[in-house]
Every structure is written in C-alpha cells, then in structure tokens.
Structure 1
Amino acid sequence: AANARRERLHEYLNSVIWRCDRLRLAGIVNAERKLGKPPAFMLSQLYVLLASTSWVADSDTDTAALGALPAGTAEQRLPEYARRLVTLDAPTPQLRIERPLLLREAVCQRRRMVLLGGPGSGKSAFLRYVAVMLAQNELHNGAEALPFWSVGRLLPIYISLGGFAEWLRTRQASATKDQLWRYLSESIESPALGRLEKSLRQAFSTGRLLLLLDGLDEVIDPYIRVQVATAIADLTNQHPCYAVVSCRVRSYIGATAAPLIDWGDPVEIAPFTIGQIHRFIHGWYRCAYQQGSLDEHEAQMRADMLCQRLEALPNVRELGQTPLLLTLIVILHYYGGKLPEDRADLYEDLVQLLLTRWTQFRRDGSKQPNLLELLKLDPQLALLKEHHIRKVLEELAYRAHHGERSADGRGLLAAEVVRGALLQLFAQFGVAPAAAYEKTELVLSYLEQESGLLLNEGGERYAMPHLTYEEYLAGCYLAKQKHKPDFYSLAYQHWHTDGARWREVILLALGRMVRGDDVETAALWLQFMLMQHANLDPADTARLRALLFVAECLEDMGGKPALIGVQTVDLPRLWAELADGLAQSMAASELDTSERVRAGTYVGMLGDPRPGVCDLAIDMAEFAGGTFLIGNRWREHRALERT
C-alpha cells in the first residue's frame, strides 16, 4: 500500500512538472509559424530569480567592510548579488548593507503571502516555477538543498483561480472553503490529484502543503472575487499550511483585499534589472544552442547583440523590465535574427503580438482563440478585421495622451469613453445594442486579461500598459489624420503646447509615414515647422527650439536619404534653410553646451553654410616621389631633447 501511495504521488508530481514547466507560447510571430512549432524550451531552463520591491538588512558594518561590496549598481546585477549601502539614523553614524528580498525567501518567511504585480510581471511564472522546483525536489526525496529556500520539502498544488471561478459557474455553486477544497481534490487539471486526497489532507494538516493560487484578478465578477478571497482565508485558517495568492496590483483593493488582511502586507514583484534582462537573453540563446537550433558561436553572438541593442534603446530596455514584454522582444529577435532598426517598426511588431498573435495555454491547457476569432463567432461580424479594432485602440491612445495622467505619465480614459468607442464600432456592423454591449465587454476582458493592451486602472478608468504603447498608437492615429486640412497645424499645436509630452508621438508618426507611403506628408511637415518660425529673430529661443526639433525629426526619420524622391518640397532649399537657420541661431543665441553640440552636429549633417567651413580650399604641399622618413632620426631626437 505504501508503494502504491508513493507511485500515485510520483504520478502527481510528474503531472505538476508537465503542466507547469511548459512555456505558454503559441502562434507568436509569422516567421515562427513558417518554421513550425513554438520553441520547446522549459520554464525551468529560462527562469530568472525574481525579487520583491522590499530590501532587507544583510549586515551592519563600518567603513572598513565596504571593500567587500560588489562592484556596479544594484540595477546592473542579479538581485541575489545586489547590495546597497544605507546610513542609519542613530546617535553614532552606522552603515547597513541591504539586499533585495527574493520572492522565494518571502514565501518561506511569510508562510501566507499575497503576491502583487502588473500585467506580465512574472506572477504566474513564479508560482509555476516554485511548483516545478518542489515537485522535482520531492521526486528526488529532497536530496539537495534548494537555494534561498529554508522550509524544506513541501507538496505543491498549483491552480488557476480563474479556472476555479469557471468551475463554480458550471456547477452553479458559491465560493466556499469546502468548494475550494473540492476543486483542489478533484483538480480538473490533474486526474492523479483526486486519488491523493488522503495524502493531501495529511500534508495540509501537518503544514507541509503549499497552495499556489494563481490569478485572483482573473475572477472577473467582483462579487465572486470577494467570495473566492474569503474561501481562501477560511480554508488556510484551518491548518498551518503555506499559501501564495497572486493578483494584479489594481485588483487587490477594498473588499477583495479585506479577507486576506491578516496575511500582512502584500509582496510586490520588482521590475527586471539590467542584470536579469541579460541573464534571460543569454538563457534563451543557450537553450537554442543546446537544442541544436543555433551553433554555440552564433547563439552567443546573438545574445550579445540583443543586449547591446537594448542598451542603445532606453525605451525598449524599459519595456524589457516586464518579463512578458522581454519575452516578446527576445522572440522577435530570435526569429527575425535581429530587432527592427527603427523603433516604430519594433513597436508595431510588439503591438501585433499583443493584439492578435499572442495566445496562452490557460486552465485546461488548450490553445485559446484570439480576439478576432472570438468576435467572428457572431455572423454579423464575419467581415470584422483586425484593423477595425486597431483603429479604436489608436484613437483611444490619442485621447488618453490628451487627458488626465497617471503617476507614471500614462493617460487615463473614463470607462464610458472606452465602452462608447467599442459600442460605436459594433453598431456600424449592425450589431444590436444588447449584443454590442456583450461584445464590448468581451473585448475589454480580452485586452485586459489576455493581451494586456488595455488595463483597468480602478475607479472606472482605463490606460495603456506602458507609456511607450500609448505614444506609438497615438502616433499611428496622428499619422492617419494627414488628409485633414488642419493636420499640420494640429501636430504643430501639440508640439508647441507641450513639446516634452508630444515629441515622441510626432517622431513615431513621422516614422510610420516614411516607412509607409506618406513620405510627402513627412517632408511637408518639416517645411511647415520651418515656415512657422522663419520670421523670428535668430536670437529668439523659440526659433532655435523649432529648428532643433525639425533637425531631430529629420535625423529620426533616417536623415536626408529618407526623403529621396519627394516631389512636393524643394529638398535642397529645405536643407539650406534649416542649416542656415541653425548656424544663425548658434551665432546669435546664448546656448548651453548640450544645445550647441546638438546644433553643430545637425549643421554638420546638413552641410555647414558658413564661409570657410565646408568651402575652404585646403592648402596642399607637393612632395616628390620616393621614400621618406616620418618623424625624426635618433640623432635629431637627442638634439631636440638637449634643447
């Protein structure tokens, strides 16, 4: 009987590993589809240790011990090696060395923990990795000590709380501790688990069970979400088991958080550091080499190139602080051989991935249909295309960029504005109001829960997941307004009113134009900007600011070659006027060093019009043919030393 129980336990542990160790990627990019299957990498092969936003004391010290601190900043290192120095506020000045609290350590210390993070921050990956780690450890009878894990062997149970809510719905049951235990015992994700209920109860009662409860925010109905949180609290209060509940930051508020308040403050996942970004990239390409997709030299070269590329693109590197978005960036690089040279093209690829090509294996392990496939189940939407939804998102991003801002700069949209835009779209397809409302809720649910392209920020407000996406989609919307008579004055007014906010939007709009069929519009925009300030005094700082922005726009497009073939603008005259204006402002304005360097660089790119700079005849000296000595002979050198 003992052998049979052990065999069933091993069966369960292997099922945990099989379910949780898979990378949930499918239908990722067109290139990948042509090649066949998604990459056959395991989560445990690529996993990077995650840290919390909390720092804990490592040791108190004096200045004599500072030499042992690792070189570099905490941002450059992996969190397990990062350290920072803090001066304690005490009568006698004292120094404390602190380090990030790793999530593994937090589970051990807290016993019961709510794990918070934004979309794609690694919440699910952490829970699944812990399940795999403990299952593998148990299969080997705990033969090896697990790093940063101090509570020994635990039996892991990983479930999706969204799956639990669906299970309740099909049974028309309420969320209670008994129903939660029944769901754990039956486990629709693993038939083996149901045959282990006795073992599970024993582990539960002795405190050797770890419940990994993923996605409280995926319980869509707020009332049921509170029920589920209460059921979790009631069940875990019965015995001293370990438990981790993951949830998005914005969803863990009010009545949802109240049942778990005795668990203490939530633990929040820290964004990826540069060190973690590099570790993930090199881990991906190491797996590619190990599986024979690339040879060792090419794998190392590609990893190094991508790390360098991200260093050169701060906005993209900032996206890489989110594990999900970093995964998408690496996938684009892996299948394309490189990232698009233009960041507008890169953002386009990322938006496409999140909008329709990104799917995940959730709950029952099956491939989920993308948004367009779900909507087309309605015959009235048979002709609905991706670009219809995309246009709505672009307009919403543009409106968000106008309005109220969150603390991180993203624009906030009222829920009625978002719903109104989607309802209008479906009405144009002849969908009845009630059905249109259902479709609108489906789109909002998909964009928030699956792709993460639009997020509920609480208080009936929505926002894009990152300012970069908002700026890019707003730029796409702005570029499509080119046929309106006030297009140039509209773009100019944005820049003139708040240049810092609209600069990137305009640059990205121009990037889309020159890489599409709108190069004439891009050239006319440069000409319009110059004309608005042509009559200002060269010493006027407003004129210099405009000239620098025109030159920046040109540089960002790809320089003068980007506008080759333009028919509506006299390009040689445009370059001459821009260069002459910059040169005059350099001479007449009080410029700081950075502005003077920028202006000089642009004038050099355009061709400096000042006499004697680019047209100065160079004095030449004539030498007869033959050999000659460069420098001084040894005797001449010694003579020079004596003098």
Structure 2
Amino acid sequence: MPVRIELRRFDLHYRSCRQAGRSCDFFDYLDEVHRERNLSLHGEPLRRLAEAGRLLWLFDGLDEVADPHARRDYAAMIVGLRDRYAGRGIVTSRIVGARPAQPLFQQAGLATYTLQEFDERQIDAFLERWHRLAFPGAPEAAARRLERLRQTLKESRPVRELCGNPLLLTLIALLNRGAELPRQRHRLYERAVDLMAEQWEANKHLAAAGAVQFDLASKKRFLRKLAFLMMTELTAGSGNAVRQHDLSAFAASFCAEEYGLRAEEAQATAEQLIQHLRERNYILALIGGQTFGFVHKTFLEYLAAAEIHARFRTHDWGLDEIKAVFRKSWQDQAWGETLTLICGMVEEERPQQVLELLQAVLEDVDPFEDYRMFRFVSFAIRCVAEIRLLDQEPVRSFARRLTDCILGYHFQSWFLMNQLPSALRLRGPEWPDAARIVAAAAEEESRDDYHSMLFPLDACSIAVSTKRERVPRLTELVFNQPDEFRLVNGIMEAGRLGEWTAAEAVSLHDAVERLSEPAKTRAWIALFDSGMASALRPVAAVMSDREDPLRRCYAALALLHIPEWRSDAVSTLVDVLRSGYEEAFNREDLPRLLEAADEPPLREQVRSLLHVDDVRLRERVAGEMALLWHDEEAISIWLEALFSEGDEWVFDDVDVATLDRLASEHAGAQRTLSRALNDITTVKRLDARVIIAQWMVARSDPRGVDALREIACSSSFATPIRQFAAGALLDVPQGRRFGVDALLLLVHEETGHHVRDPLDELLQRASSLPEARAGLWHLIEGGLREDLRLMVCRRLASLDGGERTEALRQLHQLATSADDETVRVRAAVYLRDKGLPEPAWRPVLAHLSRSARYGSTRLLAAKALRDETRIARLAARSRSANVRKAAAAALEDLRIYRALLQAGRRRRGVVSLDGIRAGIVEETPDGSRFTYDRAYLARPDAIPLSPTLPLRPEPYESRGLHPFFENLLPEGWLLDQTCRKLGLDRTDAFGLMLATCADCAGAVEIVPEKLSVAA
C-alpha cells in the first residue's frame, strides 16, 4: 500500500506540533492528512500494515525542507522508520538538497540513484508514446507531427541537446502540437516560457476590483526582471532560489512601477501573488520552506538573458553594458548558458555584435596566460555556435581564427580536456574549419611526443564529424597508435554523437580485436560505457579471465551497475581484492562495491574481506562498511585500528558528527571511543588522534586543544599530520593562536616546495581569520623568501582595507628591488593586473625586458608588456636555444591573438566635439553607422554634432557616409591632392574621413580607433 509523505507539508505539521508541546511522527502526519481527505487508512489499521511490512513509503521532496538541520533530522527519522519496520520506500530530492542528509542514508545502507538524462532510444520511445496519447483517434496527425519533430531534431543539434532532459522534452513535445519548432534555442525557450506563463493564473487571487491585471506581456516582464535580479543582486546570486521576503519586495516594487500603485496596495498585491504561488507550482514555484524558484534552472538562465536583451532592444542598455556583463561573468559557470543565449538573441539583429562581445572579453585575457586563453576559446566557440549562418563574413573569419587557436596553442590541462570537443560538438561538421581540424589531427598521428599524446585534437576531430564518419575517424586517429588515454577519450567522444548502430559495432569489433592488451580491454569497456550494447559480451569475457586480475577488476567495475551481471561483478571484485590487488581500486570504487552488494548473499561475500590477512585492506574495508552498512563487526575492526601502529590515513573521511552517531547507536563503538577519550595517547593512528581531539573540543573537553597543539608543534611527527592538527586548531576560537604558531613553525622548518603546504593553509584562512592575517604579516616582517613573500603579498592585496594598501606597497617594493628578477616581473605583472597606474609597473618591466640577467627573464618581461619587437629580437638573437624557441612560440601566440582581435573588425573612428569624445562612427556593409556614447549623452552639457544628428541612444545608419561626415571631406583639387599624397582611393570615403578629419576645420575631429595588443 503506497503512502505519500510530502516532506514540505510534514515540516509545517512537525513544527506546529512542537510549538504546541506535542510529539509528532510520520504516522501522526498521515493520520491528519488521511482524515482531511476522508480516507479510512489511519490510526490502528495504518500501523498494522506497517508492522506487517505492507506499506510502500514515498517521502517526496526532502530538498523542499528549507532548514538543512531539519532536513537531517527528518532523514534520521526516515532511517529509524526503515530500521523499525520491514517495508520498502523511496526518498526523492534534488541533488543539492540531498547533500546534508546523504551521509545518514549512506551509513544506513540506502542505495542512491541519480536520474540520468534520456538517451536517443529513450527520447524516441517517449516521443512516440507521447504523440500517440496526445492525438487519440488521429494516428495520421500524430505521425505527421512526430516526423516533423524528428526532422527538426535531426537538423538542429542545439535543440537535440535539450531533449535529454525529461521536462524540456515534454515541453518540446507540447510545443510541437502547434507550429513548427524553431531551430534556435532561445526561440524554443521563448515559446516554452510563453506556454508556461499562459498557464500561470496570476490574476486568480488578486482583488477583483484591483487595478492589476497580469497579461502575458506583464507576466513575462515580471519573470524576466526577477530572473535578472536573482542572477545579479541577491545574496549567492546566480542560484535558482529567492527567499520569500526578497520575492515579496521585488513583486511590490514591480507592481508599484508597472501599475502606479501606492506602497500599501503594491505590497498587498505582492502578498496575494505569493500566496497563489504557494498553492500551486507554475513556471515559478515554491521549492521549499520560504524559498521560491523557477521550475527548472534553464528558465532562470533564459529569462535573465531575455531581460538583458530587452534592455538592449529598448536602448536602456548599449552594447557596452552587455560587454561589461560578459567581461565580468564569462568565467563563471553559473553564467555560461545565459551569455550564450544572449549571443543567440543579438545575432538576429547583427552577427557582428557577437564577435564584438567576444573581442571585448579577449582584450582582458593575457595571450600568454594559456589556461585563460584555452577557456576563452572554448567559451567563444559556444557563443559563435549560437549564430545561425556560420558560413558568412565576418563570422567565418573569426571561426577560422578560433581554429588557429585550437591548432596552435600548446597548453594541456586535464581539467579542461573535454571543453573544446563539447563546444565544437554543438555545430559539428557545420563548423567552418572542420576539415582543417580533421587534417591536423591526422597529421598529429605521425608524432610521438607528450603534446601529441595529451592534446585532445583527436577528440575535436571526432566532435566535428558526422555520425557516419566517426568509425573511420576512430580507426584513423586512435586505433593506429593506441595510447590508452587517447583511445578511451576518442571512443567516449564518438559515443556522444549518438547511438551506435549494428554495422558500426561489427566494424569496430575487428579494430578492437587487433589491439594488444591492455588497450583492447580498455577499448571494450569504453565502447560499453559509451552505449554499445554488443560490447557487453567481450567485457564479460574479460571479467571471467582469471589470468589478469587487473583487467578482471576493470571489467567488473564496468558491469557493477548492470542488474543481471551484478552478482558476478561483486564476486569478481571480492576475488580480486582477496588476491592482493587493492591498488586496482580507486578511492570511490570500494563504496561502489558496497552499494552494489545490496542483497544478503552478496553482502556476505563482501563481508568475507573483513577476515583477509592484509591488515591495510581489512581496515579500509571495515571503515567503508562501518560508515555505509553500520555493520557491528566492521565497526569493531575499524575502531580497533585506532590503537594499532600504521601510516595509512584510515579515518580521513570521519568527522565529529560521525563519532557522535557511532557512540550513541553502537554499544561497542561507545566503549572503544570512551577508551580513546580517556587516554588519547593510546590512539596510535595520528589522523584519528586529531579527529578524536576535535571531538573532545566539541564536547568542551579542554584536553582536546592540548592534544591538537602537541601534534601540531612536535617535530617528531610528519608535516602532513602536523598541518592537519594545525588546521583543526584554526577551527577552534581558543586554539587559533596555537594553530597559526604551528603553521609558522612549519614554514620556517620546511625547505623546497614543501614549505608551500603550511603557507597555503594560512593563505586560505586569511580572508576569514584575523589571526591568520597577523601570522602572514609576521612572516613578511621576519624576512620571508622573496618568492614566498610575493605569494603572501598577493593574497593580502586581494583583501579589503588598510592591509590591501600595505600589501600593494610591499609588492611595489618587490617589483623595484627584489634580488630575484623573476619575482620582480611577477610582482609588476600583479600590480598591472590590479589596475595600478603605469608608472608603478611599466618601467620595471621595460627595464627587465632589456637588461635582466637571464634571457628567460627578459622574455617573461617582454611578454608581460606584449612587446613584439623585443620578443622578436630574443627569438632571433638569444644565446639560449630554449629562449629562442620559447620566444618564437610567443610570437606565434601573439599573432593568433591579434588575428582574433582583428577578425571581422571594421574600420571605426572616434568622434570628438571640442575635445570631448562624443561617439563612434563605424563602417558597415551598406555604408556607415554613427552612435553617440552613452557617457556623452549623460553629460548635462551634451550638444548634438549637428541638427541632422540630434542626441539619441539609437544608432544612425547611412548608405555611404552620413551627410554631416561627408561634408567634412576635402573636395575638388584638394581631394585629388590629398589622395595622391596619402595614396588613398578617392572612392573610399570612409578611409578619407579617417585620414583627414583628425585636424579638420571646426570643433569636430575624427581619429581612427586604434587596436593595441600592448599591455
């Protein structure tokens, strides 16, 4: 018998009972709810069903309980209910909301499942069934709509990418009932928002005589402005949550502004709207407690983009304001989708604007800071992918320059490895330079170096391929020289292009079988993980092959989540571990094994590992079982390890709350932990001793701080454990001074790169702990090594207040007088990046670029200045071959960077009136465009350039030059003489204007806008 407990409602019920002095449990809640609904299942009959194990418990929306402490309490009640009764149940939650309760559920042995996105087969099955139900009795109409939708998904990768999400797929299907779906994502979202906003009965609870009537346009304005507020101004902005008091304040402000209501009327209207939202979820919904949000974060992202675009369309914002948003937020993942959607919106008016936005971002990126350049290229490809026609100028030229970056940059990062292929996949073979990427990847195959092995060029090549081309690409790129990393990466990328066909499976079978081990096993597992069902049999065969335990382990881990193979996989992994191959297991593999062993026979197999001879393995397994299964024997073995010698950290995932829980729920654990509390010196595992000491502090036992201090300050212990103890002291108000002293001692004792670890601990705490900041200043005053002093000063300079001023002074001192010239360069670069005036840093860099002792330092300074002349001289004349090579690479980086900045950039002139900048005149395909600067329009003394150019934010579009500018040009014999002297074409009016109007008669002057890549 299913019983549903809506945890949001239970939370209200529980709180009201506690306020009234009554106890409350889930049965009390069900009694009340079922009585309200006139259901007979309450009281004693309900409890009898529970005792018999006949209830299916459905706990819905744990994340909708706003208070995380209450969330954990209810999770503990759920676990207690499961332990008391024999029934089964499900707890639902969004991922983020489940985190506070997740440890409780894991320790209770509850299996966790994450709902995955639909694959191609599931999408097709869903759409077929949906259309059959949506058009009852009209199979022909259903078939036509379904075929139309399939064709749209085939032709539009951006729309196809959305279909993995069940909610968005449902909306897409709903929209397909009417007009044909738009191919652009932002248009699709717009239609979806229209649909959901129309269903929002915003007027239902408003006073009948009120002046407020929310029509569709008003609702969309409300939602757009709210989304923008949530992304930009609220605390913890860019999250899909707004507290009720913030929503109420916004709604009241909106109603006052939109409808001219008095403050009290606007507030009353806002409260009515919110009450309505509490009763039913619409596009904006109650997500728990006093918190509201959009039903999917996609709508928050789209609506924020739509608000920015609306401001641009109505000229409340110019392109410069959007550039400012891009510059500030392009590296913020929470803004990524919003910014790309903005690009899709502004490109409809003029694709060139997308390039201008990206070039504005690029101007802030150092061409030699490879990590940021790599991220920028990935971001730019995603933005360009929003442009409908890629094969048009200047879009094509800009895309080609991005391809130059992909092929020319030499930066490797494991963290960014998938960013480029995933961006290119958005348009695939439509990318203007797809053929060049494929050709370059094939050429790389002939090289055998570190760069070739790691750079994801082969994955990029597959990403820009059609589905039909992927097997030949794999064979050509990754099967001929089967480095395991590239092999797996290439196969997974190919799998992302869509479901494998039977013919592809046959073709790849032969290619895989020709590989040698271990590449062959890795290839089969990768094919299976990427969705090739026929790869199951070869993977299972590897798991059964007892000759190679490591390969058996890899195969078993791949099959662990397949129900029909779970038993064999668990048995294999237990066998591998018993054979002494624990090193084959990553940190997360053992918990996966325990979660898979969810039936008694499988649990017993895994429990047999508690009796292996390998002490290290036995303790590790016992720790995982203790936390996940609450197994009494495992808890005993694990806690006994406290008192035995060992270097391994077996308690590093344990916190004070875990110890509290173990002591309260398990008598054996209580006895063992009491022994540790009584004499902490009997705890031989030092990581555990630190945690026991923290527990003592939490229990107000003063011996805890003393124990932590003893470990942190004793030179007889290793640095990592001393730093661990010092960090624990920093978490305790009465121990912070001791923790800082211990870290300072470690900094002075350590040499080489090890000194950075305790220093990093202090740097991370600097923003929150005055004691840490004081410790850092003490290090500076004590004569800290120059490179470390630079680290400390940079951190202190990032803080607010007087400390920032002093830190910048220290950095300037390092830049001008440090003995280490590399430190001088880096200090000067930091001052540049913090926006200090040029005299604070440029002379230092200029001097070092000419006169530094080492060529590598001269190159570093020249790159910081982006001094192409100096870099070229080093490339040609440096005595060091390494410096010449690095300088040549820097010149190429600079060439690519400049080409990106210049791609598609038409000629532009800065127009000034009486020495004050008034606006920009720029060349267009049909003539020219003049736009007043917003700063100029805001001046109280602003006057128009001419009566034909009155002040306004909208641009003036002209065929050729606007008559006002044309009248500034020379005429007759003066025109001929000027053209001969300057070598200009007399028909190039725009070029003539830029060449001659810098000193034309009158108050107006026009000078070319200069593009500079110099720092």
TM band (smaller chain):
0.3 to 0.5
The structure carrying a bigger strand percent of its residues is 1
TM-score normalised to structure 2 length = 0.31
The structure carrying a bigger helix percent of its residues is 2
Q: Which has the larger radius of gyration?
A: 2
